[in-house]
Amino acid sequence: MALKNDRYTYRVTWSEDDKEHVGLCAEFPGLSWLAKTPEAALRGIRKLIADVLTDMQKTGEPIPEPIAAKHYSGKFLVRVPPEVHRSLAIQAAESGVSLNRLASSKLSH
């Protein structure tokens, strides 16, 4: 049985090693489900997550919040080597934009 109001982040991809589709859940990176079709992989991982959540509730473990439900400020710190920082600052100056705008543009592609 799948979860009601399931808001977790799922992805289905092909596994060349297994020669099957694999269902994944971003909030539970250690879990996966292999199946012959993408639809079956999605059904399988959703059922597995529902079963894991039932067990977690029984044992009082903290339940991961769905990524879609989290609030993001739009800010995060990225550390880069000084040479990269200098190169990006030069690119930003030459483009007439702020370093923040240049980095945001590069990260969104």
* C-alpha distance from residue 19 to each of 5, 34, 48, 76 (Å): 31, 9, 20, 38
Task: Say if residue 47 is in the same domain as residue 76.
Answer: no
Model pTM score: 0.74
Q: How many domains does the chain have?
A: 2
Q: Is the pLDDT of residue 22 over 70?
A: yes
Range of the domain at 41: 10-67
Domain presence at residue 99: yes
Domain presence at residue 38: yes
Q: How far is CA 18 from the centre of its chain?
A: 22
CB burial string 61-76: b at 16+ within 10 A, e below: eeeeeeeeeeeeeeee
Task: Say if residue 20 is in the same domain as residue 47.
Answer: yes
β-bridge pairing 32-35 and 10-15: unpaired
Q: Is the pLDDT of residue 3 over 90?
A: no
Task: Say if residue 22 is in the same domain as residue 51.
Answer: yes
Domain presence at residue 4: no
88-107 per-position pLDDT tens digit: 999 999 999 999 999 999 99
Task: Say if residue 14 is in the same domain as residue 63.
Answer: yes
Domain presence at residue 3: no
- DSSP helix/strand/coil, 38: helix
Task: Say if residue 31 is in the same domain as residue 58.
Answer: yes
